Amino acid sequence: MSQDLLPGGGTGKLGFGMADKDKTYIHLTSHAHEQSWKTEVIAESSSWICFNKHTHLGTEYDHYHQDRPHMTGIVENDLTREAGWIKERGITWLAPVNTLDFETTGACLWAKNEVAAEKLKNVFHSEQPNRIYQALIHGCPEEDVFEIDLKLAPRPFQQWLMKADKTGKKSVTQCETIERLKAYTLLQCKPVTERHHQVRAHLACRKHPVVADASYGGDVLMLSELKRNYRFKKDRPEKPLLDRAAIHLEQLQFPDPDTGEEICLKAPMHRDWEVAFKYLKQYAVVH
């Protein structure tokens, strides 16, 4: 184990898990949006820190959706005002290494210095399957294991969305079925390349969009669609089990920029996923 890892973190090729009472949290607050996110610190060392990012929170500023809250803005503000979590760690510089979409949850790695940032970014641009996503998709692919090799390019009139295009950039995603459910499948997805919306766009191209991913044709997950004889409540519309893209970056693997030791970080699922899968297991299991 790397000696630089701080309490509450973990490392090793097999990953790790912690009881909730042993987890470390910080509060990321956007005063402009009057929102705060209780954010788990998955692990950290002297040169990096990894958060379990919430949904509806960008990693970086989005030129096409300028009103959205993003972690970079919050972190920059916390560095300026020397917020508690910044001060107690002695952090003077932070920059994101991997970028997660606005709705995507999971492992979000940040470097604490420029040297570490360059080394870690080179790892994630190296065309190696070092990130593992879990995605709940519509339908059931014929193969248990398959690869999607389709070049991607921005849509002409919606530059923030991607489409398959022969003139686009090389994009490869490796997929493996975790569990088949009635009308849904839980996949493990490993992007070999790193393109904007890559996993979401690739799955949509295969006619299996991510559940609740409205941008690529995914429908929200409703309990009434899973449970027979569901009783609708009078004068109260049904709330979706999942109303955001059902995709989560579960695992990151990289060599520590200081020691070279192989690090494997795992991000636990968020509450909305836990609830959704509770009902999927109850009502959508294939017998």
Report the C-alpha gap between 2 and 232 in whole angstroms: 54
Kind and range of the H or E run holding 282:
helix 271-283
Q: Which CATH class is domain 20-283?
A: alpha beta
Q: What is residue 19's predicted lDDT score, i.e. its pLDDT?
A: 52
Report the C-alpha gap between 35 and 162 in whole angstroms: 29
Close Cβ partners of 35 (under 8 Å, ≥ 6 residues apart): 29, 69
Q: What is residue 20's predicted lDDT score, i.e. its pLDDT?
A: 63
Q: What is residue 21's predicted lDDT score, i.e. its pLDDT?
A: 64
Q: Burial level of 187, CB count in 10 A (0-12/13-18/19+)?
A: buried
Q: What is residue 27's predicted lDDT score, i.e. its pLDDT?
A: 96
Q: What is residue 22's predicted lDDT score, i.e. its pLDDT?
A: 75
Averaged pLDDT, groups of 10, the chain, 287 residues long: 39 40 90 94 97 97 93 97 96 97 97 98 90 98 97 95 97 97 97 96 98 97 92 88 96 96 96 95 89
What does the domain layout of the chain look like in residue ranges? 20-283
Token look-up 């893209």 returns 245
Q: Nearest CA to 135 among 80, 199, 196, 67?
A: 199
Q: Can you read off the two tokens belonging to residue 80?
A: 């300026």
Q: Give me the helices (H) in 61-126, please.
A: 71-81, 84-89, 114-124
